[in-house]
């Protein structure tokens, strides 16, 4: 009994970690910068494909495993041979994991920066459609291209933690939790730094931010590039945890709409709220899975309960609590010599405020209607 409860808690915790790596970057893009990204899961698909395609082939080269074997069609046999080698070679296993993570980080950042050039030239609604189409196109290409990740049936991936023996699962879970904690800390520091205040300024009034010397387009590109990194790592960690990659499983409902709902319920532009919203919805979704047998009285299939719940919750949040459970906190900035902001004196701040009033660009409080 206790083992079942403990495994359930760990399962919820790991799923929470995976989704946090999606919702925090999403909040960084939309909540702080105003970038409407419905294709947030694009780097996640890329990270999952890299995890499926590179580590196993790299291990085959290192250990000289029969090159006549096809990595896709002989996948089960190859993974079994590689895991047997890695079980007695922890340094190589850790090295392969590190190389995979570096490749995921570099490619995710590069694709995020590259996609920003056409994306940021589009209006807000077209930007959302462009990013969604980009993610869906990648999912379809990965699904119907066998050599990447096994096509529609997917493939198993090697276990870089197999050297830990009976504790391999525990080490893997600790690694996922550790990565998540580091990411949460980084976003907390960034969003409470002068950069976070600059992003809010761009979100609230881009013209005013440009008047004080901010290169808004370059900042938005860097935001898209940086936010793609933890999402790519989420794809890698998700594949490692499942010990498989099935690209067609990365649907827009599970990895775009639900993260948006988690962010909106928690509160945009508030990392604490996003964490709370993510945790609440993870609990609700897991309870629905565990208790689905009690919904047999419904006049429709239990499979439809989750999307119906998504639609109902979205309507309720937009109608009664658009700011979320924990709304964005107003920023209090101390000016003067000890200030860490970009304003060096109250005189400089007064000039900027007067300039904004002359141009009719005085800052307004943030709300979803300003986007």
Asked if 278 and 20 touch (Cβ cutoff 8 Å), the reply is yes
Model pLDDT, residue 333: 58
Q: What is the pTM of this model?
A: 0.87
DSSP annotation of 30 reads: I
Asked if 72 and 147 touch (Cβ cutoff 8 Å), the reply is yes
Burial of 164: CB neighbours in 10 Å, binned 0-12, 13-18, 19+: middle
The domain segmentation of the chain, as residue ranges, is 10-286
Model pLDDT, residue 329: 81
- The residue among 77, 241, 224 whose CA lies nearest residue 159 is 241
Burial of 64: CB neighbours in 10 Å, binned 0-12, 13-18, 19+: exposed
Burial of 228: CB neighbours in 10 Å, binned 0-12, 13-18, 19+: buried
Model pLDDT, residue 357: 57
Pair of tokens at residue 158: 């090697």
pLDDT (tens digit, 0 to 9) for every residue of the chain, 371 residues total? 778 888 889 999 999 999 999 999 999 999 999 999 999 999 999 999 999 999 999 999 999 988 789 999 999 999 999 999 999 999 999 999 999 999 999 999 999 999 998 878 888 889 999 999 999 999 999 999 999 999 999 999 999 999 999 999 999 999 999 999 999 999 999 999 999 999 999 999 888 888 888 899 999 999 999 999 999 999 999 999 999 999 999 999 999 999 999 999 999 999 999 999 999 999 988 888 888 778 788 888 888 888 888 888 888 888 888 889 999 887 665 554 444 444 444 555 555 555 555 555 544 444 444 44
Whole-number Å distance between alpha carbons of 119 and 217: 11
For the CA atoms of 8, 11, 16, 17, the dihedral, rounded to the nearest 10 degrees, stands at 140
For the CA atoms of the chain, what is the radius of gyration?
23
Asked if 115 and 224 touch (Cβ cutoff 8 Å), the reply is yes
Pair of tokens at residue 315: 């309507």
């Amino acid at each position: 009994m206790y083992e079942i409860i403990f495994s359930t808690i760990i399962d919820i915790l790991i799923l929470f970690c995976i989704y946090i790596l999606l919702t925090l970057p999403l909040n960084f893009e939309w909540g702080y910068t105003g970038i409407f990204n419905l294709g947030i899961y694009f780097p996640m698909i890329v990270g999952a494909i890299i995890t499926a395609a590179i580590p196993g082939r790299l291990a085959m080269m290192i250990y000289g495993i029969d090159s006549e074997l096809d990595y896709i069609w002989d996948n089960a046999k190859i993974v079994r041979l590689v895991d047997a080698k890695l079980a007695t070679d922890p340094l190589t296993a850790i090295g392969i994991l590190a190389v995979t993570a570096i490749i995921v980080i570099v490619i995710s950042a590069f694709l995020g920066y590259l996609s920003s050039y056409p994306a940021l030239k589009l209006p807000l609604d077209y930007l959302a459609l462009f990013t969604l189409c980009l993610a869906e196109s990648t999912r379809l290409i990965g699904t119907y291209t066998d050599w990447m990740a096994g096509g529609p049936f997917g493939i198993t991936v090697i276990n870089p933690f197999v050297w830990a023996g009976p504790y391999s699962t525990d080490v893997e879970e600790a690694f996922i939790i550790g990565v998540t904690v580091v990411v949460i800390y980084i976003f907390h520091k960034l969003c409470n730094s002068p950069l976070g205040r600059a992003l809010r300024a761009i979100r609230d009034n881009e013209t005013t931010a440009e008047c004080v010397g901010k290169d808004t387009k370059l900042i938005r590109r860097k935001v898209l590039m940086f936010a793609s990194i933890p999402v790519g790592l989420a794809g890698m960690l998700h594949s490692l945890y499942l010990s498989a990659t099935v690209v067609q499983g990365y649907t827009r409902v599970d990895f775009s709409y639900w993260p948006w709902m988690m962010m909106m319920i928690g509160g945009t532009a508030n990392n604490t709220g996003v964490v709370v919203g993510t945790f609440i919805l993870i609990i609700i979704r897991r309870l629905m899975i565990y208790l689905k047998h009690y919904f047999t009285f419904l006049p429709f299939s239990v499979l439809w309960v989750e999307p119906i719940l998504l639609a109902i919750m979205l309507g309720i949040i937009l109608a009664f609590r658009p700011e979320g459970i924990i709304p964005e906190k107003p920023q209090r900035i101390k000016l003067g010599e000890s200030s860490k902001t970009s304003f060096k004196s109250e005189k400089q701040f007064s000039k900027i405020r007067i300039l904004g009033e002359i141009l009719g660009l005085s800052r307004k409080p943030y709300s979803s209607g300003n986007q």
